[in-house]
Structure 1
Amino acid sequence: MAVFRETVPRTFQEKLFELNWSVVLLLLLLGAVGVGMLYSAAEGAWDPWASRHLIRFTMGIGIMLVIALFPPRFWMGMSYPIYLGALALLVGVEFFGETVNGAQRWLDIGPVRMQPSEIMKLAVVFALARFYHDLPPEKVNSAFGLLMPAFLIGAPAALILHQPDLGTAVLVLVSGAALVFLAGLSWRIIIGGAIAAAFAIPAFLRFGLEEYQRRRIFTFLNPEEDPLGAGYHILQSKIALGSGGLTGRGFIEGTQTQLNFLPEKQTDFIFTILGEEFGLIGGLVVIGLYALVLANALAIAASCKSTFLRLLVMGIATTFALYVFINIGMITGMLPVVGVPLPLVSYGGTVMLAVLFGFGLILGAHIHRNAEPPRGAGLFG
């Protein structure tokens, strides 16, 4: 079995020294922002959110650093098993999932409660990166090269949509489609797919969504039509953001937050707290941190010689960028409210661990960027 090896084996200390510490520092800053905003959301208290967020973030950073030291051949071999395991968890949600706020998205496994759809975002990237690494470039636009990725993306997206979780399903579809495009999909197929989607979207909006999801999508165009119902979230978010002005009201001084006018303030609308308390300047600083993280990730992807590592990093970076784009677009009224958290800042254990696991892979790709595995290499062949 062919596997890719380092020409000069490196010690644990040498690999640790080669970590991209600028990425680690940026992630630490984003985690600190999350702790601060959750402390404010609880009216200046560590419980119930800030302390748990800090503990999870600390654990996640440790896991991230360990993941970064694993050799790429291990992750190549684990790509399909990770995908199949995540798919099995999604199927398990259909039969044994816990219902929270009207959605069946959670699995209780002993003392651990997880959201398999968050794991699936990463699993799809794994499977597609491995698939395109093994696929000869001239077959990317063949029937097999199109149908297999469509299944790898479509099967979990359908299960997630059935939970229902529109935001996560959209993330899986868009990040998967982006990876297919980056793998070398021809423009002829892209244009044909765009035309087909233009005809399919109206039917999907009519028959593929729950009633409350349709209300969310159409309400964002004119939230004033239902200010106490479907439009309440976005109207309160806009009021809070507007009241922050240029420099904000001050830490733990946001009226919309502290008087509990802002719903889901610890999760989907955490950036609104930031905007109200630190204003436009504070919001732009945090957006700048996310931009620097993405710029570093793209630079790492460009430096990788292996198709697997390059696509893996690009897929994780794309998913991360979509998290940020959708969340901020949602709370500013530019996109429908679809329940997408702000990575490393919003409260939520499964999302945080999935994001930091992904960045462990990105940091590992930087360490092993010169590795060039042959097709079919990996732990399981």
Structure 2
Amino acid sequence: MIRFDRRLVQNFDWVMVAAVLVVALLGLLNLYSATHLSRGYGSTVFIKQAYYFLAGFGLIFLIVLVDYKVLIKWNYLLYGIMIILLLLVLLVGGEVAGSQRWINLGFFRLQPSEPAKLLLVITLASYYYRKDTGKGFALKELLLPMGLTAVPVLMILKQPDLGTALMLVFIFVSMTLFVKLKWSTLGVLAGIGVSFLPLVWQFYLKPYQRQRIMTFLSPESDPLGSGYHIAQSKIAVGSGATFGKGYMQGTQAQLDFLPERHTDFAFSVWAEEWGFIGSLFFLACYFFIVLWGLNIALSARDKFGVLLAFGIVSLLFWQAFINLGMVLGLLPVVGMPMPLFSYGGSSLLTTLAGIGILINIRMRRFTTP
């Protein structure tokens, strides 16, 4: 499985590494500004994130040593590990601010719902690769992937973590639409999705989650309560104007008006300090990674590589899209970090593991399936 082929070194994707490194450095720069005034807190968070990046880049170089096709054999084992970890969270996980999402490993607090996103991509890519006949998937052939998605979604909703649960749904929808479906199947799936919305609203969403959605529809109704996050974020983004207020000069962040400024609302800090031009530069760097990932999918040597790369790109895209919509007040606040930019060890290591798989696919595009 581990092959020291000279062609692998020659085809190593330094373009992706360079792009990720640029976004990572921008994220660290922003993180220091967002947290440096908190005594004993800013420096700790910044140093931790730097260590997570070092560990993540090391993980990338380990992942590229093994041919990505072994994931076809490992996918159900990895899926089983994911379910066990999500179950452990519900049984023995630590609770923070009413949410039970983490397992304390002593040296690291693992949030299993983060690697669950990548593991679901691997599971769905493996299934669709095995079952694809080229004639289009019928509804009965989608029952298993629907079930494989529904189990972790329901477990994550119990934590509760609406944002991550929605991400798993978006991954499933994106990858399912990417493979060939029969039109009748597409119609039935759309009907099922619409019919389940009232049930999810009534029985699975917590009161505060329903309140966040209502606040999104009418943010001015409670500007000092449930609408506070959105209001302060929009003020921060708007006050950045064209060129921003300058590094570490943003009043919303530095005067502690902006909540969760190192995690969910990290981009608000960046927009306030660097303005529209700086925000445009960051988004160009980030979405270059997304476009390069799509290029990797197009050049993959086999259908599994195509599905796997597309799934990882959809993971990166939807997380960024939801986070940006959230901080701009265009989507409800659901607790979604910006990949590679927001603080968080589990999220960062999962994202870099996905990047490692993309590089792996790119490196092996010249080999025979």
* TM-score, with structure 1 as normaliser: 0.92
Matched with 1:172 is 168
Q: Find the partner of 2:360 among 350, 355, 364.
A: 364
For residues 201 and 154 of structure 2, what CA distance do their matches in structure 1 show? 14
For residues 200 and 180 of structure 1, what CA distance do their matches in structure 2 show? 18
Deviation at 1:110, TM superposition (A): 4.4
1:371–1:266: structure 2 CA closer, same or farther, 3 Å change rule? same
Matched with 2:122 is 126
- Are positions 1:346 and 2:342 aligned together? yes
1:218-257 aligned within 5 A: 218-257=214-253
SS of equivalent residue, structure 1 residue 120? helix
Deviation at 1:177, TM superposition (A): 1.6
1:143–1:329: structure 2 CA closer, same or farther, 3 Å change rule? closer
1:144–1:189: structure 2 CA closer, same or farther, 3 Å change rule? closer
Matched with 1:376 is none
For residues 197 and 66 of structure 2, what CA distance do their matches in structure 1 show? 42
1:91–1:140: structure 2 CA closer, same or farther, 3 Å change rule? farther
- Are positions 1:183 and 2:176 aligned together? no
CA-to-partner distance for each residue in 1:259-311, whole Å, 9 max, x for gaps? 00000000000000000000011111111111110111001101113121111
SS of equivalent residue, structure 1 residue 248? coil
Q: Which amino acid aligns with 2:253?
A: T
Q: Which amino acid aligns with 1:296?
A: W
- Stretch deviating more after TM superposition (12-21 or 103-112): 12-21
SS of equivalent residue, structure 1 residue 163? coil
Deviation at 1:348, TM superposition (A): 0.2
Matched with 1:42 is 35
Matched with 1:23 is 16
For residues 183 and 12 of structure 2, what CA distance do their matches in structure 1 show? 37
Matched with 2:213 is 217
Q: Structure with the greater relative contact order (CA < 8 A, sep ≥ 6): 1 or 2?
A: 1
For residues 352 and 139 of structure 1, what CA distance do their matches in structure 2 show? 38
8 Å contact from structure 2 (residues 36, 43) kept in 1: no
1:193-204 aligned within 5 A: 193-204=189-200
1:276–1:354: structure 2 CA closer, same or farther, 3 Å change rule? same
- Stretch deviating more after TM superposition (214-223 or 106-115): 106-115
Number of aligned residues: 366
* TM-score, with structure 2 as normaliser: 0.95
8 Å contact from structure 1 (residues 298, 313) kept in 2: yes
Q: Find the partner of 1:283 among 276, 279, 282.
A: 279
Deviation at 1:136, TM superposition (A): 3.9
Q: Find the partner of 1:315 among 291, 311, 314.
A: 311
For residues 203 and 132 of structure 2, what CA distance do their matches in structure 1 show? 38
For residues 148 and 191 of structure 2, what CA distance do their matches in structure 1 show? 22
CA-to-partner distance for each residue in 1:128-152, whole Å, 9 max, x for gaps? 1111111142575235421110111
Q: Find the partner of 1:96 among 78, 92, 96.
A: 92
Matched with 2:299 is 303
CA-to-partner distance for each residue in 1:243-274, whole Å, 9 max, x for gaps? 10011000000000000000000000000000
Consecutive unaligned residues of structure 1, counting only runs of 5 or more, are: 374-381
Deviation at 1:44, TM superposition (A): 6.2
For residues 186 and 116 of structure 1, what CA distance do their matches in structure 2 show? 34
Consecutive unaligned residues of structure 2, counting only runs of 5 or more, are: none
Q: Which amino acid aligns with 1:94?
A: L
SS of equivalent residue, structure 1 residue 345? coil
Deviation at 1:100, TM superposition (A): 1.0
Q: What is the percent sequence identity of the aligned residues?
A: 38
- Stretch deviating more after TM superposition (311-320 or 126-135): 126-135
8 Å contact from structure 2 (residues 3, 65) kept in 1: no
For residues 74 and 88 of structure 2, what CA distance do their matches in structure 1 show? 21
Deviation at 1:200, TM superposition (A): 2.6
CA-to-partner distance for each residue in 1:67-115, whole Å, 9 max, x for gaps? 1221123222222211110111011111111111111111123433200
Matched with 1:336 is 332
Deviation at 1:203, TM superposition (A): 3.3
- Stretch deviating more after TM superposition (198-207 or 93-102): 198-207
8 Å contact from structure 1 (residues 266, 346) kept in 2: yes
CA-to-partner distance for each residue in 1:324-361, whole Å, 9 max, x for gaps? 00000000000000000011110000000000001100
Deviation at 1:179, TM superposition (A): 0.9
- Stretch deviating more after TM superposition (207-216 or 48-57): 48-57
For residues 351 and 123 of structure 1, what CA distance do their matches in structure 2 show? 13
Matched with 1:379 is none
For residues 127 and 196 of structure 2, what CA distance do their matches in structure 1 show? 27
8 Å contact from structure 2 (residues 93, 103) kept in 1: yes
CA-to-partner distance for each residue in 1:164-187, whole Å, 9 max, x for gaps? 000000000111121111121223
1:225–1:58: structure 2 CA closer, same or farther, 3 Å change rule? same
